[in-house]
């Protein structure tokens, strides 16, 4: 299968998103801090609003059914990495999540223009999609508790046209808990020590030049770039100062997307969708 290789803003364009409904067991999802209880019905409403917002941005949304066996199944980003005409079905780092990949694999195959699907052949390789930050020009990968060196090597093999650079992620769940794309060649970065270390590594090791938007907390730094629109959590979730910085610095349209219930279980705006550019897939 041949595909079009885009870079820059065209590489970040998406036509289709795959999401997954919230199961009733979502309240038992994995988390680093279990101090806040998830309000299930509020989580379901927030995901509905998230889907509707994607659709308003011109994205066709494919919604997979929830599965009561898998509390974390709405976090579809972790089970597939799609760039251009290729899709890597991952082996998530946490064993409880590995059976989630089957539904995603079938959903990718059923797309009208399906990307070429790659598997992680090395049984010791692990990747969570939340650790994979595609800038449109290159790939940054967090080596975290969920993504290892062999997983980084698998990504490099699957997407050979893009440089792959890895950074250590010690305390946060994923790289995209610390930094995300907030525009063409623009990266939002959180405010704790690990985020600052990541920022410095990006500045010194990136193959291309980026503008960085520094925020004072990590929750604010996870935004979702969708066809020039930027989904951000409201000011009462990320701090009004951070919200104002994003509104001022981001060049695209900023859209408020409440996501408080997902954040309680370490979920971010990027976690709940796999964004696909079917224009990059031919035939």
Helix (H) or strand (E) holding 180: strand 179-183
Q: What angle do CA 260, 262, 264 make, to 5 degrees?
A: 75
Out of 154, 182, 271, 272, pick the active-site residue. 271
- Strand bridging mode 60-64 / 80-83: unpaired
**Phi and psi (nearest 5°) for 205?**
-110, -15
Q: What angle do CA 274, 50, 136 make, to 5 degrees?
A: 40
Active site residue 94: no
Cβ–Cβ under 8 Å, residues 63 and 55: no
Owner of token pair 């379901």: 44
| C-alpha to C-alpha distances, 97 to 12, 18, 189, nearest whole angstrom | 27, 17, 27
Q: What dihedral do alpha carbons 163, 168, 172, 178 form, nearest 10°? A: -40
Tokens of 246: 């994003």
Q: Which residues pair with 281 in a beta bridge?
A: 3
Q: Does residue 131 sit in helix, strand or coil? A: helix
What is the distance between the alpha carbons of residues 53 and 51, in angstroms, rounded to a whole number? 5
Out of 154, 174, 182, 272, pick the active-site residue. 174
Active site residue 174: yes
Supply the residues annotated as catalytic. Answer: 174, 271
């Amino acid at each position: 299968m041949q595909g079009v290789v885009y870079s820059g803003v065209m590489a970040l364009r998406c036509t289709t998103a795959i999401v997954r409904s919230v199961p009733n067991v979502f309240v038992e999802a994995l988390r680093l801090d279990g101090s806040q209880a998830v309000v299930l019905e509020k989580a379901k409403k927030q995901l509905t609003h998230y889907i509707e917002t994607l659709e308003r941005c011109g994205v066709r949304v494919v919604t997979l059914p929830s599965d009561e066996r898998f509390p974390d199944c709405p976090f579809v980003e972790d089970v597939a990495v799609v760039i251009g005409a290729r899709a890597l079905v991952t082996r998530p780092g946490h064993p409880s999540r590995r059976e989630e990949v089957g539904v995603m694999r079938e959903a990718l195959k059923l797309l009208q223009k399906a990307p070429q699907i790659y598997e992680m052949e090395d049984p010791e390789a692990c990747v969570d999609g939340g650790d994979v930050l595609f800038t449109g020009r290159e790939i940054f990968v967090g080596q975290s508790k969920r993504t290892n060196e062999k997983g980084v090597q698998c990504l490099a093999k699957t997407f050979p046209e893009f440089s792959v650079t890895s950074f250590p992620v010690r305390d946060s769940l994923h790289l995209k808990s610390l930094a995300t794309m907030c525009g063409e060649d623009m990266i939002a970065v959180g405010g704790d020590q690990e985020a600052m270390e990541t920022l410095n590594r990006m500045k010194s090791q990136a193959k291309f030049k980026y503008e960085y938007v520094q925020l004072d907390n990590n929750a604010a730094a996870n935004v979702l770039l969708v066809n020039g629109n930027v989904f951000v959590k409201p000011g009462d979730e990320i701090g009004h100062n951070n919200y104002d910085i994003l509104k001022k610095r981001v060049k695209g349209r900023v859209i408020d997307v409440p996501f408080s219930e997902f954040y309680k279980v370490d979920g971010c705006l990027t976690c709940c969708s796999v964004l696909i550019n079917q224009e990059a897939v031919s035939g």
